Amino acid sequence: QTLLSDSDSEGLEDSQYSLRPQTLDEFIGQGRVKKQLRIHIEAAKSRGQALAHILFVSPPGLGKTTLARIVANEMGSSFKSAVGPAMERLDIATLLTNLEERAIFFIDEIHRMKGYVQESMYPAMEDYKIDLPIGQGPAADIITVPLAHFTLVGATTREGLLGGPFRDRFGNRIHLDYYSPEEIQIAINRLSERLQPSVKIEEDAEYELARRSRGTMRIAENMLRKVRDYATVESDGIITYEIAQEALDFFEIDELGLDDNDRTYLRTMIEKFRGRAGLKAMAVAVSEDERTIEEVYEPYLIKLGFLTLTPMGRVATDAAYQHLGYPTPEYQST
């Protein structure tokens, strides 16, 4: 599987098996997105052209990288990937000049790419050419190098952090949503069969894991692996509903899928800041970087209705107080 071999086998024990969905048909859920991609892919193929540049936007673990690879597969194109923050102009130039015709060039965390590096990509994205300096100092010359017709596929958790002109150069901006428990259950079922050795898990246990996965495929996959370990050591290896419950309790994942980090975050906000705090204060109080708080913790708490963002700071809602067993504060009556 050359497609899986370059950048992100992610050190998983099972990376040698192609566990990721490889085609749009195998990609679960996100019906509208798949339909949209199918249309663009089919049209581009029938014209023999490269796809328009695509920006995938979602919280982590919802399938942006997976979709980028699938797009390459479905186009029959080569796939190259890079991570935004690490890229310098010259790195980009080297990568771009080595792309094949209709290649998919995937940049993860593209919002963290430096501003001047983003800008250096404008001519590449618009006109498939790039300006390169030759020599140094005042005598330096610029030559313009033509590029293959490629497709830039960017992934970001924070669309708003991309420069406006950069964002506008993506013909397709595609948002992925959290998955339903039913969709995640399908993924858990599939993964349990594909893991080596396969995992025996009962249907109601699958659903229980799915329900507590915060609508996020990556969390579901990690949870299955953890619960598998628990079942292996504490029982006969079969994940029954009871074992699933026991394991999730043991790993401190609550009814709504919140883990210790989420609860610490909410508790800190409630106990230290009386339910309202700024991002910086929260980051210091829970010793976590601001980015992780904004991109990992908060989106799901907001989706659950436990947190709202206001001009006056983050506010824990009554529902959050109730979930954690605090009396609801009077000033917050809904």
Whether residue 240 lies in the annotated active site: no
Of 45, 200, 218, 225, the catalytic one is: 218
**β pairing state of 307-310 and 104-108:** unpaired
CB of 65 to ligand ADP, least distance (A): 3
Least distance between ligand ADP and beta carbon 162 (Å): 16
Q: Which of 20, 65, 69, 262 is catalytic?
A: 65
Nearer to ligand ADP, 177 or 202 (CB): 177
Kindly state the smallest distance separating residue 159's Cβ from ligand ADP, in Å. 13
Q: Which is nearer to ligand ADP, 254 or 295 (CB)?
A: 295
Looking at beta carbons only, is 167 or 323 nearer to ligand ADP?
167
Question: Is residue 157 annotated as a catalytic residue, yes or no?
Answer: yes
**Closest residue to bound ligand ADP by CB:** 63
Q: How far is the CB of 224 from ligand ADP (least distance, A)?
A: 11
Q: Quote the least distance from Cβ 261 to ligand ADP, whole Å.
A: 18
Do residues 324 and 270 touch, judged by C-beta distance below 8 A?
Answer: yes
Could you tell me how many residues make up the chain?
A: 334
Angstrom distance (rounded) from CA 200 to CA 192: 7
Q: Which of 64, 112, 167, 214 is catalytic?
A: 64
CA of 8: how far to CAs of 43, 83, 151, 296, in Å? 29, 11, 20, 20
Binding site for ligand ADP (CB under 6 A): 20-21, 27-30, 58, 60-66, 155, 187, 217-218, 221
Nearer to ligand ADP, 225 or 267 (CB): 225
Strands 307-310 and 276-277, sheet pairing: unpaired
Q: Which of 156, 157, 216, 317 is catalytic?
A: 157
Catalytic residue, candidates 20, 66, 108, 262:
108
Shortest distance, position 221 Cβ to ligand ADP, whole Å: 5
Comparison of 155 and 304: residue with beta carbon closer to ligand ADP: 155
58 vs 185, beta carbon nearer ligand ADP:
58
Cβ atoms of residues 30 and 70 within 8 Å: no
Active-site residue 6, yes or no?
Answer: no
When the beta carbons of 67 and 130 are compared against ligand ADP, the nearer one is 67
Asked if 108 is an active-site residue, the reply is yes
CB of 112 to ligand ADP, least distance (A): 14
Among this protein's residues, is 216 annotated catalytic? no
Which residues are catalytically annotated?
64-65, 108, 157, 218
